[in-house]
Structure 1
Amino acid sequence: MLLRNALGETLREARTQQNRTLRDVSTAANVSLGYLSEVERGRKEASSELLASICDALDLQLAEVLDTVSRTIRTEMAAASAKSAVTANSSKLGLDPARRLDPALRIVMPYNGRPSTPVG
């Protein structure tokens, strides 16, 4: 995940949780509505000054926003790393990672009629 995407998602989530419009926040932050929209969609990189202005308009601490973004990126990277490891291990075993096992599949072990451990 790109920094600008995580930052945009965080800002948009904060704005929508406050039930505020793009127009309201863009006016309060003194930034064009179109540019704020582009920042929220991760299409534009916000300068530090612009980011501070948007955070002020949303009554958010810049440090808290950056911390949230950092945690989001860290979580995404960990998930991607885990997925990559599963794919690599599947490839080593000759398995097709895109192929899913049938959930109805059951493994049956032979039973010779005698339990291996005493019952009772």
Structure 2
Amino acid sequence: MVLLRQEIGDVLRSHRLRRGQTLRQVAAKASVALGYLSEVERGQKEVSSEILSSVAEALGVPLSVVMREVSERVASVEGIYLDDTYIPDTVPDAFVTEAGLLQSKF
């Protein structure tokens, strides 16, 4: 099961590290407690939209970019890719013969 708070934390951490910023720097700029931001990054705390927006701004990243990256990560876990293709983790019964071999519907 994918947890949104973990994906959000991973995306925020990734942006922070790419910019070479410390938790302390981002927390101060976003006016968020250092310990709270740490817990958000580790996926241990849910983040409000207001705080998420402040942290994104402190990182110099548009909130829409953060949300798109989170969405892409969740879609990947669900087997949905950028072109909206759904790839199930099992083979549909219509493609399996009684002998257990794949067959084409076409």
Q: Same fold (TM over 0.5)?
A: yes
Q: Distance in 1 between matches of 2:78 and 2:39?
A: 24
Return the TM-score normalized by structure 1. 0.67
Aligned residue for 2:74? 73
Query: In 2, distance between residues paired with 1:53 and 1:93?
Result: 58
Q: Any idea what the Cα deviations from partners look like across 1:73-98, whole Å, max 9, x if unmatched?
A: 0001118942xx16xxxxx989xxxx
Identical aligned pairs, as a percentage? 44
Counterpart in 1 of 2:4?
3
Which of structures 1 and 2 has the bigger CA Rg? 1
Aligned residues: 89
Q: Distance in 2 between matches of 1:33 and 1:76?
A: 30
Could you list the runs of 5+ residues in structure 1 that have no partner in the other structure? 87-91, 95-120
Identify the residue that residue 33 of structure 1 maps to in structure 2: 34
Aligned-partner Cα distance in 2 for 1:19–1:60: 14
Aligned residue runs from structure 1 range 40-79, under 5 A: 40-78=41-79
RMSD over aligned Cα atoms: 2.2
So what's the TM-score if we normalise by structure 2? 0.76
Give the structure 2 partner of residue 111 of structure 1: none
Instruction: Identify if the C-alpha distance between structure 1 residues 67 and 23 changes in structure 2 by more than 3 Å, giving closer, same or farther.
Output: same
Task: State the 4+ residue runs in structure 1 displaced beyond 3 angstroms.
Answer: none
